[in-house]
Structure 1
C-alpha cells in the first residue's frame, strides 16, 4: 500500500502542476501588469485563504500586504479587489464608465441568465434601468404618494406588533411582509395580508435566497431587437422585489437587534420622537431634518452592519488601465464597501456602534462621503431613495409606539453576522414589543 500511496500523491502533484501551467498559458499577456496579490493554488485559487465568517478581516490583511488594489482568484476566476475609499471612489465614480459592467455571480447567473436590471449589461442594462427609474417615479417614488403608502403599511405593522401582547417573537417575516407590500403596491397596485400563505411562501424563499447567496455555496417574445421581452420584464420585477424587500427588511431586523443591545440609544431616539413628532400623528419624511440623532442612528446602523460588504461584482469589458496597472478584459471587480464604511480615519473605532460617527459636536447631523451602503457610481442601487424613506418611516413608527426589549441580557447579544460574504446575515433573535 505504501508504494501505491506514493504513486497517488505524485499523480495528484503532476495533475495540479499541469492544470496550473494550463491556466497560466491562457493568461493574457497584459496580466503581467495586473495588481499584485496572494499566490493562488491550482484549481481552488485563493479559496482556502478566505474565511467566510470573517471575510472582511482577511481582505483587510491582504490590502495591508499588497496595497489597496490587489488580485485574487476565486477558483479559476481572476478578480481584482478594490479596498478603501480612495480606490473604490476612483473606480466607481471617477472611472465610472470603465467599471460599470456587472461581474459574474454563479448562482445569480444561473437564474437571471444576464436578464433583468441587476445582472444585465450593455444596452439592455441601460434601457431597463432607465425604464425602472422612470416607472418607479411615475408610481410615486420620492413623492408624497409613496410616502403615504409606506405610512399606511407602517400602521399595519404596528397593529401586528400590538397583537403580540408582549410575547417573544422573531420579527423576520413581519418585516419582510411589510417591505414587500410596499413593492406590491407599486408593481401590482395592492397589498397582501400578512397571513396569506402564498405571500408568506414568497417571503420565505426570498429570505432563503439571500442567505444562500451569503454562504460559501453562493460563490459557485415579440420584437427580437427589443430588450422588453416578457422574460426580461419578469426578471426585472423579481429584481425589484428582491432588492426592495430582503435588503431593507434585513437592515431593519439588524437595526432592531442593535437597539436591543444598546437600550440607552433606543431611549434617546424615543426622546427625540416624543419631542419632534409626539404620539398623536404618524412620522413623515419632513420630520427627518428635525431629528439629527435618529437620522444618525439610522446611518450608523447601515454603516455598522455593512449589509452588502463586497458590493455586487463589477467587471471591465475591455483592457482597462487603472493606476499603474492594466486590468484585462472580462476581469471581475469587487469594490469592498466594508472597507469604506469601516474606515478608521473617517469613523474612529469603526467596529463599535456609535451614532456619534454622524453627529457634529453641537449635535447637528454630519454627512460623510464614505457612507456607501447602496454602492456608488453608475451601478448605485435603483431603489436607494425608496429604501431610505422606508427605513426612516418604519423605524420611527415602531419606536414611537413601542419599547423594544431583549429576552436575554443585552450584553449577551452578538451582533457579528452569522454568515458574511455577498451579504451580512444577522443571527436569529427574539424580542418583546411593549406598548409605550
Structure 2
C-alpha cells in the first residue's frame, strides 16, 4: 500500500531536520573554531564559546601562561569575536605606540556601547575628534594643576583627613576603611571637576559615583567574557544582574553630572573658570565644533575624570598593605626613612620629598609592578585589517595589553616573582626609571591623569605609613596575609576580597 501524503511529508520533515542537524553540527565543530589565515597562535577553545570557559577569574595570569606555550602574541576567539593579547614590551611598544592609530579603537561590545556609550575619552574610538578632546582635556588639567605644586595642598589635606578618620590604636582594614580611602581620592577629583569636595561619605553624589564605577571596574571575567561572546548572553539571570547594575550605576552618575553642569551654566564666568566643567562649557561656547563639544560629550568627559581617578590610589594602598604586612624587614627600612626625613612634627608630607625618600618611592614602584591595578589596561581594538609581525589581525579584533606579563617577565626583571623594591634603586641609592614599568599604559590611550595619580599615591602612601604599621591577620589556608589568589578577580581592574586580612597599628601612642 502506497504511503499517504501525510506520511511522506513526515518522512521528508524528519530527513530535513536530520540533515539540518548534521550540517549544523558539522558547521559548529569544523568551521566555527577555525581562525583566519595567519592569525596569531593560541588555544582553539570550544565551538561558539571559544576560550571563554578557560580564561578564569585572573585572565592576565592565564594569558601569561599561554604566552609561554604559543609566543608573546597570542590569538583566540571568545564567542564570535577575535582577541589578540600582547604579552611582551617589544610587541606592546610596536602596536600601541608605533602603530597606535591602528590599535587604539575601543571594542564594540556591550560594555562600551551600553556602559560607556562609546563616548567620552575612555569610550570613544580613536579619531581626530578623540585626539582633539584628549589634548584639550590634557591642557585643561595642566592649567588646573595636575601634577603641579598647586595640587599638593588639596591632596595633602585629603590624605591627612583620611589618616585621622581611620583613628588610632589597632584599625581593622575592612570595607569601611577602604571606603574612606575611596572617599578621600574621590574628593580630589571632585575638587577638580566640580570646584568643591563631597561633604561626607553619606553624600548621594559620592555614593552614586562609587557604585557606578565599582560595578564597571569589578564586573569581573564571567560577565566580561559573556559580553564578548554575545551581548545576548548578558540576558542570563546571573549575568544580567551584573550588566544592569553597571548601566544603572553609570546612568545615575551621569544624571548627577548633568545636574552639576546645569548649575555651572547658570553662574558661568567665562573670564574666570574655576574647574573642569567651567573649562568645558567655555570651550563649548567659543568652539566652532558644536558637534564635538555636545552637552552629552561634556558629561561623558567629566564622568571619565572620575573613572580614571577613583581606583588607582585606593587599590595601590590596599595592595601595599597586603604586600608589606608579611615583610617586616622592608617595613623597617620604609619606616626608618620616613622617620629620618619626616621628623615629627617639623616636616610635613609632600611630593617634593620623593627625591629625599628613594626607598619609599621604590616600594611604591614595586607595588605597582607586582600588583598591577589594571593588569590588562582598558581593552583596545583595531579599526582595520592589519598585518602585525607575520600575523593577520581582522578589523574589530579586541587587543589586550598584558601589563602583568611584562611586569613578571624574567627578560626584563631579575627574579620577578620576588618583591624587591631595591630593583628600582641604582648604585648611589637613587630611584631609577625603566620603560618596562607601565601601570598607566603607553601610547595615545595612556592615562591622562598619570601625573596627579603619582602625586596622590605618594602623598597618601607616606601619610598612611607615617602613622601606621601594618601587621598580618592570616586567613585559613593561605600562606601569605593577602589571602589566596583565587579570592581576587579581574575585570577592568583587579578587585581584592572584601575582608582584607591585615590590621593597621598606630606607630605612636
* TM-score after normalising by structure 2: 0.76
Residues 312-349 of structure 1, C-alpha deviations (whole Å, 9 max, x = no match): 11122122221122322222211211111111122222
Q: Match of 1:73, SS?
A: strand
Q: Report matched runs for 1:355-366 at 5 Å.
A: 355-366=421-432
Cα deviation code 1:118-155 (max 9, x no counterpart): 11022332122122212211211122111111011111
Q: Judge conservation of contact 1:415–1:426 (CA < 8 Å) in 2.
A: no
5+ residue gaps, structure 1: 1-7
**Distance apart, 1:168 and its partner CA:** 2.2
Report the CA distance between 1:396 and its aligned residue.
0.5
Q: Deviations over 1:191-238 (max 9, x none)?
A: 1233334124533443333211x3311231999852211112112211
Q: 1:15 to 1:360 in 2, by over 3 A?
A: same
Task: State the match for 1:90 in structure 2.
Answer: 94
- Asked whether the 8 Å contact 2:218–2:491 carries over to 1, the reply is no
User: Does residue 1:423 correspond to 2:489, yes or no?
Assistant: no
* Long gaps (5+) in structure 2: 1-16, 228-283
Q: Identify the residue that residue 129 of structure 1 maps to in structure 2.
A: 134
3-state SS in 1 of match to 2:75: strand
Quick one: which of 459, 475, 482 aligns to 1:413? 482
Report the TM-score, using the length of structure 1 for normalisation: 0.88
Greater Rg over alpha carbons, structure: 2
Shift of 1:49: 2.5
Aligned partners of 1:407 and 1:432 also within 8 Å: no
- Contact 1:166–1:433 (CA<8 Å) still a contact in 2? yes
Other-structure match for 1:43: 48
Classify 1:239/1:405 alpha carbon distance in 2 versus 1 (closer, same or farther; 3 Å). same
Bigger shift: 300-309 or 96-105? Answer: 96-105
Structure 1 distance, partners of 2:33, 2:173, is: 54
Helix, strand or coil: the match of 1:96?
coil
Distance, in Å, in 2 between the alignment partners of 1:12 and 1:360 is 67
Q: Map 1:9-20 onto structure 2 (within 5 A).
A: 14-19=23-28
1:192 aligns to what SS in structure 2? coil
Contact kept, 8 Å, 1:161 with 1:433, in 2: the verdict is no
Aligned-residue offset at 1:107 = 2.1
Give the whole-Å Cα distance in 1 for the aligned partners of 2:493 and 2:470: 25
Where does 1:194-233 land on structure 2 (aligned, <5 Å)?
194-198=200-204, 199-212=206-219, 214-219=220-225, 220=227, 226-233=291-298
1:71 aligns with 2:71: no
Which aligned pairs between 1:372-391 and structure 2 lie closer than 5 A?
372-391=438-457
2:409 matched to which residue of 1?
A: 343
Cα deviations across residues 46-82 of structure 1 (Å, max 9, x unaligned)?
21222223x2343223222322222111111011121
2:435 aligned to which of 358, 369, 379: 369
- Report how many aligned residue pairs link the two structures: 423
Aligned to 2:340: 275
- SS of 1:184's partner is helix
Which secondary structure state, in structure 2, belongs to the residue aligned with residue 80 of structure 1?
A: strand
1:398, 1:325 → 2: CA distance? 48
CA distance in 2, matches of 1:353, 1:14: 55
Distance in 1 of aligned mates of 2:122 and 2:217: 14
